[in-house]
Amino acid sequence: MALLIYLDGELVPEEQAKISVFDHGVLYGDGIFEGIRAYNGRVFRLEAHLDRLYDGARALQLDIPLDRTQMTEAILETLRANQLRDAYIRLVVTRGVGDLGLDPQKCLRPTVFIIADAIELYPEEFYDKGLELITCSTRRNDPAALDAGIKSLNYLNNILAKMETTQAGVPEGIMLSSEDYVAECTGVNIFLVSSGKLITPPLHIGNLAGITRQVTIELAQQQGISASEELFRTKEVYCADECFLTGTAAELIPVVTVDGRSIGDGKPGPITKSLREAFADLTQSEGTPIYG
């Protein structure tokens, strides 16, 4: 069955879901998006995703034509139309149709579209055995130039780093800040476990405030695991007891090798496994019901 895509208030078959070549989302990457998950008939942390979406829109002076209630219903309607209970949802708001200039004021109405489909970012064996990473030469955007808290459509910084990982034959890579601190990976946040303590880079060095990142911190605290935001460099990654990545699509996935160096004993560690299990349990029971 062909997917039905929500596009500006209508559900249309995927082959008919088209936007203008004059849309500034296409011309300039001017817009925002969210990746959201549905599990077991519930949309996970929908409110948090909408918070980030509407905060980003305010920062860009982008007037989303749907309020939060309408946006929620549009997401649920798209899932129902495609008869999905477990899905990845891509919600996109572009600046809309304008001219060939940069001025966003010439774009009269933003474009909104929603795609809901199945996703498998990594094979299951990667979750069992762990990932191999490299450190990318491409640096994370300086937050003084572009606020990473805005999940914008312009992902060239991440794409350039992803090209490096592909050429190196590994699935992910660490991106450093302009001051050589570990920032995040090409599409996910990073955590270390050292002496039983959970550490993740602070947001102010240019990291996205990941929803799964926040959930992981909450789960760690519930398990009595100390969790903090700290600056660290690649040496601390090499010397960590455990390492894992978090993201909406990736969920929580262990890392066992970075730049050819084994992390810990080279296998997913006990804290990583415990948090993965807690996250999986939470996603099956929490969320906004799709079908009432």
What's the rounded Cα separation, in Å, for the pair 30 and 52?
16
| Radius of gyration in angstroms for the set of CA atoms belonging to the chain, rounded to a whole number | 19
CATH 3.30.470.10 for domain 4-117: yes
- In angstroms, the Cα distances linking 248 to 35, 104, 135 are 6, 30, 22
pLDDT of res. 2: 87
- The pLDDT > 90 percentage for the chain reads 97
How do the domains of the chain map onto residue ranges? 4-117, 124-283
3-class secondary-structure state, position 276 = helix
Catalytic residue set: 151
Quote the pLDDT of residue 18. Answer: 97
Largest CA distance in the chain: 57
- Which token pair is 110? 């933003």
Summarize pLDDT for 215-274 with one digit per residue, the tens: 999 999 999 999 999 999 999 999 999 999 999 999 999 999 999 999 999 999 999 999
Which pLDDT score is estimated for 292? 77
Q: Which CATH class is domain 124-283?
A: alpha beta
Per-residue pLDDT reduced to its tens digit, 89-138: 999 999 999 999 999 999 999 999 999 999 888 899 999 999 999 999 99
pTM flag (> 0.75): yes
CB of 75 closer than 8 Å to CB of 46: yes
